[in-house]
């Protein structure tokens, strides 16, 4: 049965740090270089606008962690742990009971995401004598994943696999294999001896039997020098799901094991902390995020702890991850910000003369302009047309008394239906094309010396002088 439990988290380490924890702190500081690089950009960037990234935190906070089992799921279980080990000599094991239905005896998955400031310290524990176990975090949208820190209460696994998914669990890719013997467990080389190998033996020793850590950094070499918003980095950093497969147990190799303790009582996985460091995924175009539509956090937690998934976009970008330009800002093609130089790669506004609400980028237009402008306005309003809504539509003319950007800059032609040769006026001045003998801006009257305004225009007077425009009778002085 798969167990779904919930929790909230923050990071701390014990005051009494072991040498291994000190080493881990150094590793964590190195891992935080990505966040520093993202938020502290090169001085060449604009002082007003630059690439930015939301704060980092524990993605497990406020979200469900899934495990295959939990200690005491069906009934009360007895479990034992060795404590007080020094020079691989342990005190007598301490035995206790667990029961998932009794809060004071339960060790749910939510404890892995609880604050480590809480005392006594809490942990998740698997069912007894479980050889293989899974810990999984499912996210509601795409996030940036920078590093994982696991702190074990039990001895660390002899074999373990860290995997990620970018398509909500439809497919998985291995991030790192962990084993006491990479060749024997996975037929892989060990990065202790082969730089860049996907397997490592660094975090698989049984000692320390409690408090041992496993640390993984997504941007370790060869990715550490890559722009964090580049396609190469995104392929490594983006996740929708994270899964840890605990594949092989190992018990504490104490020299003075008690013969009265059954092996099964010692055979379990137990984890204090499951810290998934990451941030909202915004392509360098946002420094704040809000909850994704429909998302419900599983437990109330501080706003400073929760890492939400929908970006509040800057740089004229839009979308849940600022992955596109805002509707009216497609004069250049969208780009992610540059995390190395700090350049924001802002989206530029289309030249639509205030007559359109959106535009799209057209590569042919971009090339024809000499790589200066590629925006084509969508659905021109206010009786305008053209790729920039730069002229009045047929049947309308420009009113030169007001700016062309005004909504009423294009006036309807007032061509007389009988006197005009066609109902389309000159778009520059509004003058209509008149039939023979017809005059006036709207072609609504006969010219001087003409009469009989009608379907075929006006006829010339037969008088030596002028004539009546309606009857054609000569007018004598």
Query: 58-112 pLDDT, tens per residue?
Result: 999 999 999 999 999 988 998 888 766 666 667 777 889 999 999 999 999 999 9
The two three-digit tokens of residue 188, written as one number = 């892989």
- Give the closest residue to 13 by CA, choosing from 23, 3, 4, 25: 25
Residue 191 included in any domain: yes
Q: In DSSP terms, which residues pair with 248 in a beta bridge?
A: 159
Give the domain extent around 144: 3-310
SS3 label, residue 31: helix
Is 252 within a domain?
A: yes
What domain count does the chain have?
Answer: 1
Question: Phi and psi at residue 401, in whole multiples of 5°?
Answer: -80, -15
Q: Determine the length of the chain.
A: 477
Which secondary-structure segment (H or E) carries 25? helix 19-31
Q: Is residue 217 part of a domain?
A: yes
The domain spanning residue 28 has which CATH number?
A: 2.60.120.260
The predicted-structure confidence for 105-154, as pLDDT tens digits, reads as follows: 999 999 998 876 666 789 999 998 888 999 999 999 999 999 999 999 99
192, part of any domain? yes
pLDDT of residue 4: 44
pTM: 0.79
Residue 306 has pLDDT above 60, yes or no: yes
Asked if residue 454 belongs to a domain, the reply is: no
Question: Does any domain span residue 428?
Answer: no
What SS3 state is found at 234? helix
pLDDT in tens, 178-225: 999 999 999 999 999 999 899 999 999 988 888 999 999 998 766 566
Residues 148, 214: contact at Cβ < 8 Å? yes
User: Is 373 inside a domain boundary?
Assistant: no
Q: Identify whether 76 is part of a domain.
A: yes
């Amino acid at each position: 049965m798969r167990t779904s439990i919930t929790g909230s988290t923050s990071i701390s380490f014990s005051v009494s740090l072991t040498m291994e924890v000190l080493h881990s702190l150094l590793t964590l500081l190195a891992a935080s270089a990505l966040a520093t690089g993202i938020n502290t950009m090169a001085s060449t960037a604009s002082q007003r606008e630059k690439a930015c990234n939301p704060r980092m935190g524990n993605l497990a906070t406020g979200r469900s962690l899934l495990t295959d089992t939990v200690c005491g799921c069906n009934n009360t279980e007895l479990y034992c742990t060795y404590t007080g080990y020094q020079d691989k000599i342990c005190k007598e094991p301490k035995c206790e009971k667990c029961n998932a239905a009794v809060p004071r005896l339960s060790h749910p998955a939510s404890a892995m995401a609880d604050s480590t400031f809480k005392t006594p310290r809490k942990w998740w524990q698997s069912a007894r004598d479980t050889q293989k176990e899974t810990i999984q975090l499912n996210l509601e949208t795409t996030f940036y994943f920078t590093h994982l820190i696991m702190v074990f209460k039990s001895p660390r696994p002899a074999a373990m696999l860290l995997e990620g998914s970018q398509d909500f669990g439809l497919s998985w890719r291995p991030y790192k294999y962990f084993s006491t013997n990479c060749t024997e467990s996975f037929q892989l080389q060990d990065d202790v001896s082969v730089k860049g190998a996907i397997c490592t033996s660094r975090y698989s020793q049984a000692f320390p039997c409690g408090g041992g850590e496993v640390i993984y950094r997504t941007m370790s070499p060869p990715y550490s020098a890559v722009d964090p918003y580049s396609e190469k980095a995104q392929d490594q950093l983006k996740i929708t799901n994270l899964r840890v497969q605990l594949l092989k147990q190992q018990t504490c190799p104490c020299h003075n094991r008690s013969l009265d303790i059954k092996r099964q009582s010692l055979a379990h996985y137990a984890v204090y902390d499951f810290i998934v460091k990451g941030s909202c995924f915004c392509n360098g175009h946002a420094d704040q995020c809000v909850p994704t539509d429909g998302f419900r956090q599983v437990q109330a937690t501080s706003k400073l702890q929760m890492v939400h998934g929908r970006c509040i976009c800057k740089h004229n970008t839009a979308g849940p991850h600022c992955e596109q330009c805002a509707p009216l800002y497609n004069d250049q093609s969208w780009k992610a910000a540059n995390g190395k130089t700090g350049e924001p790669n802002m989206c530029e506004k289309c030249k639509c003369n205030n007559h359109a609400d959106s535009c799209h980028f057209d590569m042919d237009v971009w090339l024809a302009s000499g790589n200066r402008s590629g925006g084509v306005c969508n659905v021109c309003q206010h009786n305008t047309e053209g790729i920039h809504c730069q002229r009045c539509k047929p049947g309308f003319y420009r009113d030169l008394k007001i700016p062309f950007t005004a909504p009423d800059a294009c006036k309807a032609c007032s061509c007389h239906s009988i006197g005009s040769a066609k109902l389309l006026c000159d778009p520059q001045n509004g003058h209509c094309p008149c039939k023979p003998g017809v005059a006036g801006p709207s072609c609504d009257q006969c010219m001087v010396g003409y009469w009989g305004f009608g379907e075929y225009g006006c006829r010339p007077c037969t008088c030596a002088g002028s004539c009546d425009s309606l009857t054609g009778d000569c007018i004598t002085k």
